[in-house]
Structure 1
């Protein structure tokens, strides 16, 4: 018999004062969770489910089998864990509010920009500069397309694409992440000035990646994808996509720690669009608050994804801004710390308005004054 436990935030409050303190600040951010579902999964099926608030969570945890009691206690602590800022070169990126990561693709077959920045470093430099000016906290540079059906890229070609972009972004003083699954590319990128390893294979593709990241002491982003080989979208077979992705990310988190990577340097990404149907993507997005129970900062990469087109009369990639903003706001409402996006200026504006609303809610007392 195999038991697993999950503590899923269900509802939010505008602030703790609105519910007399009976709320949890998710991930140390700007979102407060009010009600929770404690879900016991046995042999892959949900066996029991309890509803509670923070004030009566202890009574629910006391009912759990010994097999999951320690994990449940850890998840409850993780939900409210505040994450320290990331120090990325000269830049400090705080994780107590949503931050925007701007995408710079230097590939010939990017689904979003069609290779506009590959052989035109001036255009790439201008795009990176514009994203930084618009408020991007991090520039994420990728030299290999990971869309479904995209061919694998030779490591030498990937280096030739990525390193010049790292160098010109570094010269701007940018905080830089490199979207690669190859340790050789990552090592060269670190030497050129990159700060973060963003690995869509969660460091399964190249066994050297964990060792390299641990030695560098850099943050790593571990993304869920079902594929084990070149095709990261292959082999998807979920009993329950939300719980299965949660368990998978927990395993990769623990593997990273075992390899010598500090917990403070691990960011997790549920991998929207990678080996998942529309229904599965929607389920993950609706369940995003659950992933705070893993105890790590979260990244959401849903910008311009195919699911937006599927929900919008097959809108072309360049016509998915509205859907991208909607998903970014969904991520912010779930307490996600990092938003990986193509449309930086628009997302930053949406974030700033959202943040204003959250700030105002903390001082918005609904009680009528006494007369």
Structure 2
């Protein structure tokens, strides 16, 4: 029988003597929620968590792409596509993209994620040549102007190669390394850190009645299997980020379950990334139609997952997110700086 343990994350004091650090960061836990497909969910003390889970939950996360993960880091989204759901067409030229990236870094972004293929619901695949033509000049210009690390948001090894040659330092694959069988081999051979995301189906079809036996445990099992596969190939766990894939083949209820219980994914022993910025479920819950008006809802999600120890939030609105996280850190610690 498989069992899973979600740490009940806290940042306040007093801290019990038997509490464990969460992923080597400022958070801690002295209790967990135990899940099983065959038994009711229940609360357990830290002493009831098996040693392998305790180790993965508490072990410090190594720096990735130069980012020390001792507090939430912000990944700024830079889409250089004509059709992305939020900012398609806004940053297609290298000059505009560099201007936008420079502004995001000045507002608090720790890494810039460049994407040349829209993965919004209903989006069609983009040929390699077109995707490379979009991202290559932008990443080349960014790497010359900024010291901030750059990640490439792609499912394709050919695009990743062009991006890394241009200066990208991390590969962020929304397919979880299921789309292009050569991409994982490429990342291993180049010694690259990676982000493996869960998605049900491809962008064209993923929102057509997605179903799960148990969305939380199903997503966890997928990510656990992909992390194990990457490790067996030669990519160490210390270079792997996991992402539950909010909005990728999920209903509103699926998204809310994953966000509410996202601390479960610390059990994979990897940094956790959440990208919910401006997504449609925020608009449906809040009654806001256009993506640009979903800033407040997006910031609320980022703050909620940071309170569960998530190490990286992927956002469009860097300044608002950075302000909210700065206030959350100060309040949770009861001090500044």
TM range (shorter): over 0.9
**Residue matched to 1:80:** 58
The correspondence of residues 319-358 of structure 1 with structure 2, limited to 5 A, is 319-358=293-332
The correspondence of residues 87-236 of structure 1 with structure 2, limited to 5 A, is 88=65, 92-118=66-92, 120-171=93-144, 172-227=146-201, 231-233=205-207, 236=210
Asked whether the equivalents of residues 201 and 232 of structure 1 are also in contact (C-alpha less than 8 Å), the reply is no
**Residue 231 of structure 1, CA deviation:** 4.3
Question: Normalization by structure 2: what TM-score?
Answer: 0.94
CA-to-aligned-CA distance 1:51-87 (integer Å, 9 cap, x gap): 2222x32xxx5xxxxxxxxxx432221111111212x
Asked whether the equivalents of residues 39 and 50 of structure 1 are also in contact (C-alpha less than 8 Å), the reply is yes
**Residue 233 of structure 1, CA deviation:** 4.7
**Residue matched to 1:369:** none
Aligned: 1:32 with 2:6 = no
**Residue matched to 1:14:** 12
Mapped to 1, the partners of 2:67 and 2:15 lie a distance apart of 31
Aligned: 1:53 with 2:45 = yes
Asked whether the equivalents of residues 202 and 223 of structure 1 are also in contact (C-alpha less than 8 Å), the reply is yes
**Residue 232 of structure 1, CA deviation:** 4.8
Q: Which moved more, 1:159-168 or 1:228-237?
A: 228-237
Match of 1:300 among 274, 295, 309: 274
Mapped to 2, the partners of 1:339 and 1:41 lie a distance apart of 29
Q: Which moved more, 1:75-84 or 1:354-363?
A: 354-363
Q: Which runs of 5+ in 1 are unaligned?
A: 62-71, 364-371
Mapped to 1, the partners of 2:120 and 2:284 lie a distance apart of 16
Asked whether the equivalents of residues 272 and 312 of structure 2 are also in contact (C-alpha less than 8 Å), the reply is yes
Asked whether the equivalents of residues 203 and 248 of structure 2 are also in contact (C-alpha less than 8 Å), the reply is no
Mapped to 2, the partners of 1:98 and 1:313 lie a distance apart of 28
Mapped to 1, the partners of 2:203 and 2:81 lie a distance apart of 20
Asked whether the equivalents of residues 4 and 34 of structure 2 are also in contact (C-alpha less than 8 Å), the reply is yes
SS at match of 1:140: strand
Asked whether the equivalents of residues 140 and 176 of structure 1 are also in contact (C-alpha less than 8 Å), the reply is yes
Mapped to 1, the partners of 2:42 and 2:212 lie a distance apart of 24
Asked whether the equivalents of residues 181 and 201 of structure 1 are also in contact (C-alpha less than 8 Å), the reply is yes
Runs ≥4 in structure 1, deviation > 4 angstroms? 228-235
The correspondence of residues 242-281 of structure 1 with structure 2, limited to 5 A, is 242-281=216-255
**Residue 309 of structure 1, CA deviation:** 0.3
CA-to-aligned-CA distance 1:143-198 (integer Å, 9 cap, x gap): 00001101110110000001111111101222000000000000111111100000
Question: Normalization by structure 1: what TM-score?
Answer: 0.86
Mapped to 2, the partners of 1:24 and 1:277 lie a distance apart of 34
Change (3 A) 1:266 1:234: farther
**Residue 263 of structure 1, CA deviation:** 0.9
Asked whether the equivalents of residues 10 and 29 of structure 2 are also in contact (C-alpha less than 8 Å), the reply is yes
Mapped to 2, the partners of 1:302 and 1:108 lie a distance apart of 20
* Paired residue total: 336
**Residue 355 of structure 1, CA deviation:** 1.8
Mapped to 2, the partners of 1:223 and 1:138 lie a distance apart of 17
Asked whether the equivalents of residues 9 and 263 of structure 2 are also in contact (C-alpha less than 8 Å), the reply is no
Aligned: 1:286 with 2:284 = no
SS at match of 1:177: strand
Q: What is the root-mean-square deviation in Å for CA atoms of aligned residues? A: 1.9
Instruction: Tell me which structure has the larger Cα radius of gyration.
Output: 1
